[in-house]
Amino acid sequence: MTGRSVEDVLALEPLPQKLTGQVALVTGSARGLGRAYALRLARLGADVVINDLDLTANRRYDERLTPGCETVVDEIRALDRRSIGIEADATNEGQVRSMVGKIEEEFGRLDIVICNTGGALVPGPSVASEVPIDDFQRMMDLNFMSAVITCQAVAPIMKRQGRGRIVLVGSQAGLRSQGA
């Protein structure tokens, strides 16, 4: 994208730059809600790390990005913010620790983490009485353990800094039954 920011293209009003100088990580942010969180953080002044299994996942779901941008990383950069994309599985402790190491190496800090990885991304039934145990374990890894792994990986940086914010994204599906 040349000469025009995402805000210009989408005709968005500028936001107060209250996150200038801060670095944010959003897991599961190549599309959907994660993308929205990442763009909002960037519009508030933060540099943003985009994490997903596939940084071009928007294509698979036919989600359009800002014209001229191939990835959410490009959209963040079009807002004149620093951004890197890291393909890593948030359910894999080694990959998450490696990702956090890259973030610290690139930016020297990490102030905000949004644990957005999750969803009902397994085939077949998700009703508790019918779901195969392997699929249930995958759902627990995706929706719960990914957050635990990410929080454990970022905690040492935030403790050294003496500050940091972690946001855990959930779903209303955890509050109601989908049948027996």
d(CA 30, CA 55): 5
> What are the structure tokens assigned to 136, written together?
């249930």
pLDDT above 70: residue 99: yes
CA 39 to chain centre: 11
The pLDDT value given to residue 6:
65
d(CA 97, CA 141): 16
pLDDT tens-place string over residues 35-79: 999 999 999 999 999 999 999 999 999 999 999 999 999 999 999
Task: Give the DSSP H/E element, type plus range, for residue 85.
Answer: strand 83-87
Span 159-163, mean pLDDT?
97
pLDDT above 90: residue 176: no
In the predicted model, what is the mean pLDDT of the chain? 90
DSSP string, 13-27: PP---TTTT-EEEET
d(CA 38, CA 2): 21
The pLDDT value given to residue 120:
74
The pLDDT value given to residue 32:
95
The pLDDT value given to residue 9:
59
Positive or negative, the CA dihedral 34, 40, 42, 44 is negative
pLDDT above 80: residue 1: no
Give 115's strand partners: 168
Q: Report the first-to-last Cα separation within the chain, whole angstroms.
A: 50
**Length, in residues, of the chain:** 180
Q: Is the pTM of this model over 0.85?
A: yes
Span 84-106, mean pLDDT?
98
Task: Give the DSSP H/E element, type plus range, for residue 84.
Answer: strand 83-87
> What are the structure tokens assigned to 30, written together?
């190549």
Please state at what angle helix 146-161 crosses helix 93-107, rounded to 10 degrees.
Answer: 30
Span 88-117, mean pLDDT?
98
| Reduced DSSP (H G I as helix, E B as strand, rest coil) percent helix, strand, coil of the chain, to 5 | 40, 15, 45
The pLDDT value given to residue 125:
67
The pLDDT value given to residue 65:
95
Alpha helices in the chain (DSSP H): 6-10, 32-43, 57-60, 72-78, 93-107, 133-140, 146-161
Least confident of 86-90, 122-126, 173-177: 173-177
